[in-house]
Amino acid sequence: MTEIARELAKKSRVMVICSSPNSASPSPPVPGEPEVIEIKSWWPGKSALVARSFAAVLFSLQVFVAVMKHARREDVLLSVTTPFTLPYTVALAARLRKAASAVIIYDLYPDTLVMAGFLHASSFLTRWLRSANKRMFRWLDAIIIIGRDMRSKLLDYPKMAASKVILIPNWSTLPVGYRELNPENPYRRRYAGRFIVAMSGNAGFTHDPASVFEAARILQDNEDIHFLLSGEGVGWAKLNDMQAASPLSNVTLIERVGESDLESFLAAGDVWIIPYRKQNTGVSVPSRIYNLLAVGRPIIICSEPDAEAAMLVQEENIGWVTPPEDPKAIAEIISLAASSAAGTIAKGHRAAQIAPRFTPQISLDAYRDLMDALLDHQLARSRDRLNAVP
């Protein structure tokens, strides 16, 4: 979002409302830079679900007040889906202010909550959220999706206009180019000669790192394969508990790797694994995949085959797709990848070849074009209103 805001600020005045500590812009704001309004908010730990839900509602109400204060008819409001309550209040405020509005769907609710096991598919709250979505989608001028599989989920809503749904994928943050498997890589050196299966990133409620750990248990007698696992979130805490309760010698857990070491870390794995729980299609897209493409690493996706990441892996032959929540299937694919080193490396080279399709400027240009179109539409509406006044 920072990059999007900075790109849009090159041509337009951009105001950002967020809760990041110490993010507020100086007074007066720097010309050509986004103006940041910081909302003082309270965020409990990710495992405190009830308290965190209350904090999400409170933050969304604070944003609603801020939007009502600052938004004008000529403006376009762009929201994300984190927290999940946010787009509803932003869309409502935009409607009251007669401004245009758009949302970037990183996670589709309530489907994400159903996938994570927090809601039943037919529960009252699930039905209520889908009803709220129906109204919100009608108010929005654009709905930005980051994966193709989200489109069909959205078009299932009654009277959803297909023209509102805009695909703009996320992008890699690393320079594109195949990185050779270097035995002197600090993350490989300790496991000389072994085939390294790596996993990292936020392991949230929609992820299934436990199945990766169980796959490692199945393969623990294979001394040629080692698991290098890193990350954060509730899934990461679960991995630490599993390793503490039943240690595996073929598993190494390391704390979340900082940005300065990310490239080296991603280049350390022979293959990377992204494990999702069941019912992932159209619900959540793994943005971490684009940096793996940038460094040229094959990918194992644990998900339904019609999910965005799975489709990309299969279409471009840059890895493997396994059923979600199936440790045995994961172990079999890892064994196959390790036994065919040349084929696995070739998949990595193909990953690097398609990575230029997911660079920052391509996506940022798409955001710029969309915002320009919405701004032009708002100006035209304002002129029409003025011309209609007798």
Eight-class DSSP state of 355: G
User: At which residue do the structure tokens 């969309």 appear?
Assistant: 370
Q: Provide the pLDDT confidence category of residue 386 given band limits of 50, 70 and 90.
A: low
pLDDT, tens digit, 9 for 90 and up, residues 243-279: 999 999 999 999 888 889 999 999 999 999 999 999 8
Do 12 and 160 lie in one domain? The reply is yes
Q: Among 140, 130, 129, 200, which residue's Cα sits nearest to residue 165?
A: 140
Q: Residue 282 in contact with residue 153, Cβ under 8 Å?
A: yes
Domain membership of residue 326 (yes or no) is yes
Domain membership of residue 181 (yes or no) is no
Q: Residue 155 in contact with residue 162, Cβ under 8 Å?
A: yes
Report the pLDDT value the prediction gives residue 287, as an integer from 0 to 100.
Answer: 80
Do 162 and 196 lie in one domain? The reply is no
Q: Among 29, 23, 31, which residue's Cα sits nearest to residue 1?
A: 23
Q: How many domains does the chain have?
A: 2
User: At which residue do the structure tokens 């990575």 appear?
Assistant: 355
* Bridge partners (DSSP) listed for residue 145: 105, 167
Give me the helices (H) in 41-120, please. Answer: 49-70, 86-97, 111-115
User: Could you tell me how far CA 172 lies from the centroid of its own chain?
Assistant: 12
pLDDT, tens digit, 9 for 90 and up, residues 299-324: 999 999 999 999 999 999 999 999 99
Report the pLDDT value the prediction gives residue 48, as an integer from 0 to 100.
Answer: 66
Do 288 and 157 lie in one domain? The reply is no
Domain extent, residue 195, equals 189-357
Domain membership of residue 103 (yes or no) is yes
Domain membership of residue 184 (yes or no) is no
Do 202 and 342 lie in one domain? The reply is yes
Report the pLDDT value the prediction gives residue 140, as an integer from 0 to 100.
Answer: 97
Q: Residue 71 in contact with residue 97, Cβ under 8 Å?
A: yes
Do 342 and 365 lie in one domain? The reply is no
Give the Cα separation of 45 and 51 in Å (integer): 9
Do 78 and 147 lie in one domain? The reply is yes
Top-confidence residue, 390 or 314: 314
Eight-class DSSP state of 94: H
Q: Check which CATH number belongs to the domain holding 100 and give it.
A: 3.40.50.2000
Average pLDDT over residues 346-364: 96
DSSP string, 259-289: HHHHHHHHHH-SEEEEEB-SS-TTTB--TTH
In angstroms, what CA-CA distances link 199 with 40, 273, 342? 34, 5, 21
Do 233 and 164 lie in one domain? The reply is no
Domain membership of residue 176 (yes or no) is no
Do 274 and 363 lie in one domain? The reply is no
3-state secondary structure of 178: coil
Domain membership of residue 180 (yes or no) is no
Do 54 and 144 lie in one domain? The reply is yes
3-state secondary structure of 322: strand
pLDDT, tens digit, 9 for 90 and up, residues 71-127: 999 999 999 998 889 999 999 999 999 999 999 999 899 998 888 888 899 999 999
For residue 23, pLDDT beyond 80 = yes
